[in-house]
C-alpha cells in the first residue's frame, strides 16, 4: 500500500470540530469544510442543509488535484490557495499541512482579507492535530494492528450481507 490509511479518532475529531466552528464564527463565513486530498469529507460546520457535501468534497479534491498538477507543470511546488469569486458567494480553498483541504464559503458579510487571516491561524492548529493523528497511526503500525480494530474479523458473510437485497 502506497500510503497509510486515514484514520480519525474521537478525540481529534472533536478538536477539529471545535476549531472549524470557531473559524466559521471568526471569519464570518457561511460554511467551513474539511476534506482529505482524495475527496473524503472529514468535517463540516455551518449551513450544510441545502448543500450536497459529498459532491462538494469530491469536486474540491478534483479541483485541488488539477491545480496541483498545473503548478508542477510550470515548475511551482503548489498553489497553496484557490479562490473562486461568485456573485453572492465565494469559495476559499487552502491546503493544510500538505494533507487536507480547508474550504470556506462566505458572502458579503465577510471579506477575503478576513478569511485569509483567520485561515492562517486555524491552519496551524489543524496541522498540529493531523500530525498527532499521523503519529498515532504510526504507533499502531509499529505495534501491529490496533487490538480492538473492528475490521480484523470481517467475514465473507458480513460482506455478502451488504449486497443481500
Partner 1 sequence: MTFINYASREINCKIVYYGPGLCGKTTNLQFIYDKTNPAAKGKLISLATETDRTLFFDFLPLELGNVRGFKTRFHLYTVPGQVFYDASRKLILKGVDGVIFVADSQRERMDANAESLQNLESNLKTQGYDLMSIPYVLQLNKRDLPNIVPVEEMKKQLVLRNEPVLEAIAKANGVGVFDTLKAVAKLVLQDLTRPDKNG
DSSP class per residue in 38-72: TS-EEEEEES-TTS-HHHHHHHHHHHHHHHHHHHH
DSSP 3-state of 151: coil
Closest listed residue to residue 104, CA positions, set 52, 16, 12, 35: 35
Q: Which three cell numbers stand for residue 163?
A: 449486497
Map the footprint of partner 1 across residues 24-63, applying CB under 8 A.
36-40, 42, 52, 54-55, 58-59, 62
Q: Could you give the C-alpha distances from 78 to 10, 47, 113, 115, 123, in angstroms and in order?
A: 31, 30, 21, 20, 16
DSSP label of 161: H
In the complex with partner 1, which residue's Cβ is closer, 113 or 144? 144
Residues 122-141 that bind partner 1 (CB under 8 A): 137, 141
Tell whether residue 7 is a contact of partner 1 (CB under 8 A).
Answer: yes
Are 14 and 101 a contacting pair, CB within 8 Å? no
List the x/- string, 96-115, binding to partner 1 by CB under 8 A. Answer: --------------------
| Between 2 and 74, CB nearer to partner 1 | 2
By beta-carbon proximity to partner 1, the closer residue of 5 and 108 is 5
Residue closer to partner 1 by CB (options 47, 138) is 138
Residues of this chain that interact with partner 1 (CB under 8 A) are 1-10, 12-14, 36-40, 42, 52, 54-55, 58-59, 62, 65-66, 69, 137, 141, 144-145, 150-154, 156, 158-159, 161-163, 165
Amino acid at each position: 500500500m502506497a500510503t497509510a490509511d486515514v484514520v480519525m479518532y474521537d478525540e481529534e475529531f472533536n478538536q477539529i470540530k471545535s476549531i472549524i466552528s470557531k473559524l466559521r464564527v471568526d471569519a464570518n463565513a457561511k460554511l467551513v469544510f474539511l476534506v482529505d486530498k482524495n475527496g473524503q469529507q472529514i468535517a463540516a460546520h455551518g449551513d450544510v442543509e441545502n448543500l450536497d457535501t459529498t459532491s462538494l468534497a469530491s469536486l474540491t479534491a478534483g479541483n485541488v488535484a488539477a491545480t496541483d498538477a498545473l503548478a508542477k507543470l510550470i515548475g511551482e511546488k503548489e498553489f497553496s490557495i484557490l479562490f473562486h469569486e461568485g456573485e453572492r458567494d465565494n469559495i476559499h480553498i487552502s491546503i493544510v499541512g500538505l494533507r487536507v483541504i480547508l474550504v470556506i464559503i462566505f458572502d458579503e458579510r465577510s471579506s477575503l482579507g478576513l478569511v485569509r487571516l483567520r485561515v492562517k491561524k486555524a491552519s496551524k492548529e489543524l496541522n498540529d492535530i493531523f500530525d498527532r493523528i499521523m503519529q498515532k497511526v504510526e504507533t499502531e503500525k509499529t505495534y501491529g494492528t490496533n487490538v480492538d480494530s473492528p475490521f480484523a474479523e470481517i467475514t465473507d458473510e458480513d460482506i455478502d450481507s451488504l449486497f443481500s437485497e
